[in-house]
């Protein structure tokens, strides 16, 4: 679960090669990676197939939902929606990668 939450902030990167060679200072986005990570997180939290004791299942989730993980989710939302507000996120790329993930 910690790895999934760590992945949430890794969708946005400042590429050193692009910066050094081309002087490109804007972030690059890997929306497919973000969408896959959110789908895995959703599946882990909502798939109850084979669960015989719902209280134990919920307690297990609560133990893994540490405050630092929730902080990462908050940071993702602030970054993502902040970049949308500042028109930094290429919405065409986001839509394309979202549709590619849905086809898988």
Per-residue model confidence (pLDDT) at position 104: 61
In the chain, domain spans? 2-103
Q: How confident is the model at residue 80 (pLDDT cuts 50, 70, 90)?
A: confident
Please tell me what DSSP assigns to residue 29: E
Does 101 have pLDDT greater than 80?
A: no
Which of 47, 76, 74 lies closest to 60, judged by CA?
A: 47
- State how beta strands 28-29 and 12-13 pair: antiparallel
Cα–Cα dist 43/65, whole Å: 14
Dump pLDDT digits (tens) for 55-75: 888 887 787 778 888 888 898
Q: Which residues of 40-52 are buried (b: 16+ CB within 10 A; e: fewer)?
A: ebeeeeeeeeeee
């Amino acid at each position: 679960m910690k790895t999934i939450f760590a992945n949430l902030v890794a969708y946005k990167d400042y590429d050193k090669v692009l910066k050094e060679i081309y002087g490109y200072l804007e972030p690059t986005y890997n929306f497919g990676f973000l969408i896959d990570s959110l789908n895995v997180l959703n599946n882990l939290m909502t798939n109850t197939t084979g669960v015989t004791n719902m209280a134990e299942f919920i307690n297990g989730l609560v133990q893994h939902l540490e405050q630092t993980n929730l902080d990462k989710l908050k940071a993702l939302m602030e970054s993502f929606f902040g970049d949308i507000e500042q028109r930094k996120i290429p919405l065409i790329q986001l839509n394309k990668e979202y549709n590619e993930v849905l086809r898988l």
